[in-house]
Amino acid sequence: MNAISAYMRQLHDFAGKRLYIYVFLMLMISCLDGLSIYLLVPLLSLVGLFGTQGSMPMAWLFEPLQRIPASMTLFVVLGMYSVLMIVQGLIQRKQAVMGTEIQQGFVNNLRIRTYRSILRANWTFFLRKRKSDLSHVLTSELARVSQGTNLVMQLSTSFIFMVIQIAFAMVLSVQMTLLVIVGGVLLTLYSRKFVRRAKQMGDRTTFLSQEYFSGMQEHLSGIKDIKSNMLEASHFEWFRSMCGKLEKNAIQLVRLNSGTQFIYKIISVVFIIMFVVLSAQVFKLQPERSILIILIFARLWPRFGGIQSSLEYIGALVPAFHAVTALQEECDQAEESYKAVAPGQVKTVHMTKGLSCENVSFRYLEDQGNALNNINLFIPIGKMTAIVGRSGAGKSTLIDLLMGLMEPQEGKVTVDGETLTGERLQTWRNSIGYVSQEPFLFHSSIRENLLLVDPRAKEEQLWEALSFAACEDFVRKLPEGLDTVIGDRGVRLSGGERQRIVLARAILRQPEVLILDEATSSLDSENEAKIQAAIEKLKGKMTLIVIAHRLSTIRDADQVVVLDQGQIVQQGEFGALSRETKGTFHQLLTKQTALQNA
């Protein structure tokens, strides 16, 4: 119930006065509908089916008709009826468009807010969260919320229609109308359990589609492993069983819904029979009143059933809204410590001395050991610092702290002696260029990929950055040069080429510090040499931090930091460290030399 009221509140806040106009239009449509039913009385008496309409309630409405010559009355009544229908049709059209505008606008607003919250969340949030869960909320769950909003709009239309029609029916016969209302209320109370059950099914739909989404994403990103290890059969089995569960759940919901619709149908037949008998035998209503009431309720009852059906479907969709708002809340709680500002308005830090870690310790989870332990490190401006160590030694963690993506539990990271927090953190992030191990490029042209970081960059600046990153030659050879589309459905680039384009993008930004997480597995020795050449060119122009997996790329580093089990175990110049005959660096070097010679 909380989720429904939260949803209604958000819808109300979003739509504002448009919601009231929408409701007013619905009222008008329903009133015109009721009037059109009332017009049937003079119409039917004119064709001789009823006596006079004098004894009908609201007969004064039709009094002016008495003054019209008899030969004209039929045309006037038919004309009134047509005008009523046309006006109603026009209002209905306006109301339908308005309803869709509110529905689409609301969902769009929700989508934008959710995505903004996700982007504003800090890095630790992303470490905790499965990416597939985020895309699931942004696609599938939001689509369900959109469907739910449509149902809510339909529901409110039906509800207002029902109230107005009941008011019209009341004027015709209070007892008969009360009888139907009591019946309707009893039926609604009885149907509450169906709505509850529908909500449980909705919860299950959320859970299942989340599992489906994450499974699919994992499988598709690991398709090479699946194919090369012949794991297709087991994955297909998973897929088939998942689809089966989704199918079963969807059928269960329809079964529940059609079951209640069937009950409604049976009850409506019983009602109509009771109605006719009671109106004639017990309440002794005039036939014209009975016919009008039956007409009103015959049209109303399916709507009543529709309300029940909408409630069940809305019940099933509420978990989707809950999932969206829960994600928003989670993101808001993990919001970055600095305020969001428009791109281009964030300043950069001009570093004059260097970047430091002072007694820095960090752990990912409270109940886990430290990933980094008491790190003390100074990275001087304009120099190249290499970070090496075995897998799991803490290299990426250290880089994430230096970039300000995470804050240490103990100690501090400082730039020129100032701790990285709040706004300084934001300007610091804006001063960093980062090239990851898995270089990320959009499916668009090389030009667009580069302009992402500096939309105003000129052609020669783009080529200059490409030249620094040692990719000018191969880009010039591409069919459409800078305008060649790359990515999944464009020209396929090798791992090394991708990394160099990303490096060019980072250089274009002219960062204060350039961090390079070396992609070694995808690099052959020719590409490695090219990256090394790029690093050579950049040396002295900016502060460089390189996570090195191949020690050969960091021969010219000004300082090498060796990590082991979250601690700095060695530190110094490459030549000096390689001359040591003991220690982690020596072991790493020996292992790599052995591998190269093998």
C-alpha dihedral (537, 543, 546, 551), degrees to nearest 10: 60
As measured in angstroms, the least distance from the Cβ of 224 to ligand ATP is 19
Total binding residues for ligand ATP by CB under 6 A? 12
**Does 354 participate in binding ligand ATP (rule CB under 6 A)?**
no
Q: Could you say which of 183, 306, 319, 389 contacts ligand ATP (CB under 6 A)? A: 389
Of 315 and 389, which CB lies nearer to ligand ATP in the complex structure? Answer: 389
Site string for ligand ATP, 87-126 (x = CB under 6 A): ----------------------------------------
Window contacting ligand ATP (CB under 6 A); options: 224-232, 253-261, 392-400, 489-497: 392-400
Of 395 and 500, CB closest to ligand ATP? 395
What is the closest distance, in whole angstroms, from the C-beta atom of residue 400 to ligand ATP in the complex?
8
In 3D space, the residue among 377, 385, 379 whose CA is nearest the CA of residue 353 turns out to be: 379
Minimum CB distance to ligand ATP smaller for 507 or for 560: 560
Using CB under 6 A, which of 8, 72, 127, 270 touches ligand ATP? 127
Selection from 330, 331, 336 nearest residue 122 by Cα: 336
The correct pick among 148, 202, 306, 394 for binding ligand ATP (CB under 6 A) is 394
345 Cβ contact partners less than 8 Å away, ≥ 6 residues apart: none
CA separation for the pair 3, 527 (Å, rounded) = 55
**Residue 393: CB minimum distance to ligand ATP, A:** 4
Q: Is 375 in the site for ligand ATP (CB under 6 A)?
A: no
What span, in angstroms and rounded, lies between the C-alpha atoms of 454 and 486? 19
- Which position among 281, 391, 581, 597 is part of the footprint of ligand ATP (CB under 6 A)? 391
Shortest spacing between CB 365 and ligand ATP, in angstroms: 6
Containing H/E element for 547?
A: strand 543-547
Alpha-carbon torsion angle 307, 313, 318, 323, nearest 10: -160
Q: Which is nearer to ligand ATP, 286 or 520 (CB)?
A: 520
Q: What is the 3-state secondary structure (H, E, C) of 564-579?
A: ECCEEEEEECHHHHHH
Judged by CB under 6 A, which stretch of 310-318, 394-402, 550-558, 582-590 contacts ligand ATP? 394-402
Q: In whole angstroms, how close is the CB of 538 to ligand ATP at the nearest point? A: 22
Rounded-to-integer distance, Cα 43 and Cα 47, Å: 7
Residue 310 in the binding site for ligand ATP (CB under 6 A): no
Using rule CB under 6 A, residue 396 touches ligand ATP: yes
Residues with Cβ within 8 Å of residue 287, at least 6 apart in sequence? 50
> Least distance in Å: CB of 395 to ligand ATP?
4
Q: Is 324 in the site for ligand ATP (CB under 6 A)?
A: no
Asked if 512 and 351 count as a contact pair (C-beta separation under 8 A), the reply is yes
One-letter amino acid for residue 397 of the chain: T
364 is a site residue for ligand ATP (CB under 6 A): yes
- Should residue 393 be labelled a site residue for ligand ATP when binding is judged by CB under 6 A? yes
Q: Is position 131 an interface residue for ligand ATP (rule: CB under 6 A)?
A: no
Find the binder of ligand ATP among 204, 322, 395, 498 (CB under 6 A): 395
Cβ distance 107 to 141 under 8 Å? Answer: no
Interface with ligand ATP includes 397 (CB under 6 A)? yes
Going edge to edge, which strands form the sheet with 543-547? 432-435, 513-517, 543-547, 384-389, 559-564, 567-572
Distances (CA, A) of 220 to 215, 225, 239, 252, 439: 9, 10, 12, 29, 18
Site residues, ligand ATP (CB under 6 A): 127, 364-365, 371, 389, 391-397
